[in-house]
Amino acid sequence: MRALRLTAWKTEPELVEVDEPTPGPGQVVVKIGGAGACHSDLHLMHDFEPGAVPWNPPFTLGHENAGWVHALGAGVTGLEIGQPVAVYGPWGCGTCARCRVGVDTYCENPAGAPVPGGGGGLGLDGGMAEYELVPAARHVVPLPEGLDPVLAAPLTDAGLTPYHAIRRSWSKLPPGSTAVVIGVGGLGHVGVQILKATTAARVIAVDNRDDALRLAEECGADLTLRSGERTAEEIRAATGGRGADVVLDFVGVDATLRTGAAAARTVGDLTIVGIGGGTLPVSFFSVPYEVSIQTTYWGSRPELIEVLDLGARGLVRPKTTTFRLDDAMTAYRMMQEGTLEGRAVIVP
């Protein structure tokens, strides 16, 4: 079968022929219907060096995957051949306290994981191929009726990541509250939809691109602001001087972190989702009182089930452009150039 593989750090992936996987005991082979192209893949190609993460190439890219059950290993129950499924991407040890409740992202026994801190498309072979081997059946989640794998694939990360970040702040998003989304890209535009579907907050979207702000409006943003030196002041003006109860930074560079901290309301949340590499100095007087600042990584398996339900009901629908496997690198180049609107899905 054909697969898009990263063969070394700081190289472009190659489309090559590899053997079709065969499941061992407890494993599942998924026939890929869609594999999302993620901006973090660009970091794998261009920025990472040996030692940056506890795994190395070669491996097949693609950590946002959905399709149909193709083959079952011995002992697997609860799944059927041909059943539409999504793949939960982070693969932990399965036995520590975090993994037992489905939070493999924060596995506390990395030595027992298939690959420490990674998963399919992140150290192990992912879904930018005709088939993907999933090492444990618990990572295979049945799709709700009516949700196509092409639409489900980006929900496994571009949906799950903002959902987890927003869900942890639900208590701060009642009627009368304000949430700010900084960066309306592949994750941010889904974040706007999730906020509108699951909270009563007023949503303000911030970006430096006109097309991204138009997309934010399409997704339900109540107010859009162009990113600049005065953005935090504009957010405070729009909130009667109080600031935003929750700020979600999907960019994560110095400028956006400064904006988020300056725009946050006392006792609010500033959640850093984007891995832009920025830093934010924190001291007693540098941020409003009792503002909580945190990073998040992906989400849990139970949360994925909730996200897929939102997708099946049409409440969350990433804007997608599909590409053939032959054209996957075109998708990545458009992503790098900033000309891709929403999310790219590779359809083998």
> Smallest Cα–Cα separation from 79: which of 67, 90, 91?
67
Q: What are the angstrom distances between the C-alpha of 332 and each of 36, 38, 43, 226, 338?
A: 11, 8, 11, 25, 10
Which of 88-97, 297-306, 307-316, 332-341 shows the lowest mean pLDDT across its residues?
332-341
The pLDDT, as a whole number, for residue 298 is 97
**pLDDT value for 309:** 98
Of 219, 187, 226, the C-alpha closest to 203 is 219
pLDDT band at 342 (very low <50, low <70, confident <90, very high): confident
Contacts for 229 with CB less than 8 Å, ≥ 6 apart: none
Whole-number Cα distances in Å, 213 to 70, 196, 216, 291, 301: 40, 16, 5, 27, 31
pLDDT at position 53, please? 87
Yes or no: say if 340 and 317 are a contact pair by the CB < 8 Å rule. Answer: no
CATH no. of 2-157+299-347: 3.90.180.10
Q: What is the pLDDT of residue 101?
A: 97
- pLDDT score of 341 more than 90: no
pLDDT in tens, 145-174: 999 999 999 999 999 999 999 999 999 999
Secondary structure element (H or E) that encloses residue 146, with its range: none
Of 290, 258, 264, give the one whose Cα is nearest residue 276.
258
CATH numeric code, 169-295: 3.40.50.720
pLDDT recorded at residue 36: 97
Model confidence at 273: pLDDT above 90: yes
Same CATH topology for 2-157+299-347 and 169-295: the answer is no
What confidence tier does 338 reach under pLDDT thresholds 50, 70, 90?
confident
Would you kindly state where each structural domain of the chain is located, as residue ranges?
2-157+299-347, 169-295
Buried b (16+ CB within 10 A) or exposed e, 87-125: bbbbbbbbebebbeebbbbebeeeeebbbbbbbbbbbbb
With a CB cutoff of 8 Å and minimum separation 6, the contacts of 201 are 173, 174, 177, 178, 179, 195, 245, 246
Secondary structure (DSSP) of 75-143: T--S--TT-EEEE--B---SSSHHHHTT-GGG-S-GGGSSSTT-EETBEE--SSBSEEEES-GGGEEEP
For the chain, give the mean pLDDT: 96
